[in-house]
Amino acid sequence: MRVHVADHRLITHKLTYLRDERTDSPTFRRLVEELVTLLAYEATRDVRTEPVEIRTPVATTTGIKLSSPKPLVVPILRAGLGMLDGMVRILPSAEVGFLGMVRNEETLAAVTYANRLPDDLSGRQCYVLDPMLATGGTLVMAIQYLVERGADDITAITLLAAPEGIAHVEQELAGLDVPVTLVTGAVDERLNEHGYIVPGLGDAGDRLYGVV
């Protein structure tokens, strides 16, 4: 897996406010959206395109447009939903699929409870949205799911990642011949005994949507 830490002062600045426990939900949501837009800019650097001829008011020139099939954006429910608006703002023609996964808080294993994805993802570039790469269990399952359906290029976008989670994903996907990239705002120190990222920002879903 190619890991890209989007090391930019504006990202670190916004992450600082996101981490702060005093930040309320409306501000948290807005910051997540802003951060995703910045991370998406980096994550879509290699989005597939094809040449297109256009006329400016002055001359004819060649530009590029997104290739078909269009990229698929896959937020992992629930917290990944908070990242969707920021992502589609810069990739408005992308299609969106949904994957519902929850981790068992005792075993920390990921369980799929819902999916709404095209059956055939052949030739698709997929962008998986999940704010926190903690143990990595959810991301491994999501990537395996997409690869089974034919996805041939996968980029995961997370706000924060734990070193243990990155190592786990790398280990589990070692044999995979599909390129996988991680774009993250920061790699934090570690996971605690409850599987939370330290220093992290707490439970991203709860901070976005409240404790439900």
Using CB under 6 A, list all residues that contact ligand URA: 79, 132, 134, 195-197, 200, 203-205
Question: What is the nearest approach in angstroms of ligand URA to the Cβ of residue 158?
Answer: 10
State residue 35 phi and psi, 5-degree precision: -65, -40
Q: 52 in helix, strand or coil?
A: strand
7: annotated active-site residue: no
Helix/strand/coil percent split, the chain, to 5:
35, 30, 35
Question: Binding site annotation covers 136?
Answer: yes
138 in a known ligand binding site = yes
- How far apart are alpha carbons 178 and 153 in whole angstroms? 6
Give the alpha-carbon dihedral of 20, 169, 147, 115, to 10 degrees.
-40
Strand partners, 155: 127, 181
With residue 105 as reference, give the H or E element that holds it. none
Question: Is residue 155 marked as binding?
Answer: no
**Which C-beta is closer to ligand URA: that of 95 or that of 172?**
172
Half-sphere exposure of 60 (CA within 13 A, CB side): 2
Q: Tell me which of 48, 85, 152, 206 is the catalytic residue.
A: 206
Minimum separation from the CB atom of position 79 to ligand URA (A): 6
Query: Is 158 annotated in the active site?
Result: no
Cα 183 to Cα 189: distance, rounded to the nearest angstrom: 17
User: Active-site residue 16, yes or no?
Assistant: no
132 vs 182, beta carbon nearer ligand URA: 132
Q: How many CB atoms lie within 10 A of CB 135?
A: 20
Q: Based on the residue annotation, tell me whether 149 is a catalytic residue of this protein.
A: no
Closest CB to ligand URA among 138 and 181? 138
| Residue 197 annotated as binding site | yes
- The answer to whether the annotation marks 130 as part of a ligand binding site is yes
Which of 107, 116, 120, 190 does the annotation list as catalytic? 107
Residue closer to ligand URA by CB (options 97, 205) is 205
Q: From the CB of 185, what's the least distance to ligand URA, in Å?
A: 13
Distances in whole angstroms, Cα of residue 86 to Cα of each of 6, 38, 102: 16, 9, 22
Residue 50 CB, shortest distance to ligand URA, in Å, is 38
| Catalytic-labelled residue, pool 29, 37, 103, 112 | 103
Which residues participate in the annotated binding site for 5-phospho-alpha-D-ribose 1-diphosphate? 78, 103, 130-138, 203
Catalytic residue annotation: 103, 107, 203, 206
